Structure 1
Amino acid sequence: MSTSSNGSKVALVTGATRGIGFETVRQLAQAGVHTLLAGRDRGRAVDAALKLQGEGLPVEAIVLDVTDTASIAAAVQEVDRKFGRLDILVNNAGIIVEDKTLPKPSQQSVAAWRETFETNVFAVVETTQAFLPLLHKAPAARIVNVSSLLGSLTLHTQPGSPIYDFKSIPAYNASKSAINSYSVHLAYELRDTPIKVNAVHPGYVKTDMNAGEGEIDVPTGAKTSVQMALIGADGPTGGYVYLGETLPW
């Protein structure tokens, strides 16, 4: 079994070949964390990792399709073989597949709901469960679940809130509400261990996922994930945060 070159923490970020995931890998590596850049496609993951290695950062690629049980198992085996533990898991992979030209929630297909929950919820649960034994082997692991302000039921039901009128992607919104709930349940399970679990809102970020719409840049969008990945023993668990601010459930 090898270890990271300087005995640093080991992190894995899912859905990391572009956008917020890629930037999360960069910022964790800049903080001295040996970071595994995970992607479904080996070529794209390797290309992305090589770009960051070119910046002198401790990054390597790992193949991980979070919707494929065998791929998850293979990634766990690889991390176990190379490092024997995992200090940080950032569940970043996510999709929006709904037809945004259909404004009514009831118009979205059941197929879109199923596809959304498969990646945004069930894959997070399966990936986390698979890596949990390695997270327990770390001195004080961190699990970061990338959620969204759109998962806030409080703000969705509050007229005049920033998201009150964002109802055209109900499956995505509900998937993030589910991730918030899962984070609370997992944090409760792990409350007597050094492991901390938090859900994060990246912000309304300009990414490929929203065709460049958004209010903040990708580096800012990665900050909350990185902050929560690096919290100390006095940091929160079971939280829902954005840049240090607690969000309403």
Structure 2
Amino acid sequence: MSEDVDLPESHPRYESLLTRHRIEAGVDRGITSRQGLIAQGRGEAFDYLLGERTIDSADDAERAAAAHLLSADHAVVSVNGNAAALVPGELVELAEVTGADLEVNLFNRTEERIEAIADYLREHGATDVKGLTADGRIPGLDHERAKVDADGIGAADVVLVPLEDGDRAEALGEMGKTELVIDLNPRSRSAEVATVPIIDNIIRAIPNITEHARDLRGDPDAQQDAIDTFDADSALTDAERTIREGDLE
């Protein structure tokens, strides 16, 4: 949606203003809930403290996430309203490169929103979008995020969960799934329970994971090395230190 923004790329807050516009446009289109506006602002605050950049530990996490997606038996990229509004084409590209499924999963779920997000992903190149059937459930959840496709998230061994999603992240972990979580808050529940916590802005994280996946494709040894050498606790500690100490470049 960047073509609709009357803002020069030289503006020092260009990326921040662009993401805000995409969320606003997503609300207008019925993709993003109004609560998504609040979530965007919360994440933006953490990103500002990170220096609006991908720190080294986040890049390591993105490489490990790419390796998990490539080596999975059945990988699924979960998509909520904010993710669809911010990086629709990038999500489709990631799924294509890694062979993962795309599945819409929402807290504020309505059939209209599910259809709108699925249609928007198709407009950006997706050929198959899951989440409409909702014939499976995540045990332990009493809200709409419990509804999943049995042959999608329900059957997945690896799930990429973009943006804050603490209770579902915990529930997926209890199901034995490998969770790759993108969350700008290193002390959120979702980040702390993740196999691979990616403390980065989704607009940088998704393209970076895709780039790493292209580099790792066809090399199982390199994939395993990326998985084995990544340490989740160290990544969370590094991100929190960067935020607290203002280690900006």
Shorter-chain TM-score: which interval?
0.3 to 0.5
Structure with the larger helix share? 2
| TM-score w.r.t. length of structure 2 | 0.44
Q: Which has the higher contact order (CA 8 A, sep 6+)?
A: 2
